Each structure stands twice: as structure tokens, then as C-alpha cells.
Amino acid sequence: MAKSKPKAVKSISLKKEINQQLTTQLTNSLPGLKEILGEKKFEARIKKAAKLLSEGIKEKVPEIIKQEKKKVSKMKTETSEPVMEI
């Protein structure tokens, strides 16, 4: 009997995750169009639309989050300095 190893959780990039979410949301919101175009054409167009909508998303962390991290690290360094007692 072989032991089953737990599968490692892969972290999906931000752009891919948003692309998947867009694809599912567009698919769910346009069911009538799927009947008109057909399965193959519909999927191709949804894929293109999701790609275009997620085009401006960068893989890097947005500037706002970077600024927040700087503030937190600055606060930690200010508070972590040892206080000298006399």
C-alpha cells in the first residue's frame, strides 16, 4: 500500500486568478449568448474578453499595499527599540 502524499497548494498568480474569476462571471452572466454562438465560439470569446479585461493587472503588489507595509515596518522599528532605564 502506497501512502498518499498531501498535494502541495500552488499559489496562483494574481493575474491568473482574476482571469479565472472573470471567465466564470462572464460565463454565468451570459447564458443566452452561449446558445446563440455555440459552445466553442462562446468559450473563445469569453477567454478573449477576460484577457482584455485583466490586461492592465500587474503581477507586482500594488503601490498602496507597499506603502502600508512600509508604515507598519516603520512603526515596528520605532517601537522595538530598547528603552534604557536609569
Domain extent, residue 41, equals 14-79
Tens digit of each residue's pLDDT (9 = 90 or more) over 61-80 = 556 666 666 776 776 666 65
Tens digit of each residue's pLDDT (9 = 90 or more) over 37-69 = 999 999 999 999 999 988 877 765 556 666 666
| Gyration radius (Cα) of the chain, Å | 23
**The predicted structure's pLDDT at residue 53:** 87
Asked whether residue 31 is domain-assigned, the answer is yes
Asked whether residue 60 is domain-assigned, the answer is yes
Asked whether residue 67 is domain-assigned, the answer is yes
The total number of structural domains that make up the chain? 1
Burial 6-43 (b: 16+ CB within 10 A, else e): eeeeeeeeeeeeebeebbeebeeebeeeeeeeeeeebe
**The predicted structure's pLDDT at residue 24:** 94
**The predicted structure's pLDDT at residue 26:** 93
**The predicted structure's pLDDT at residue 55:** 83
**The predicted structure's pLDDT at residue 4:** 63
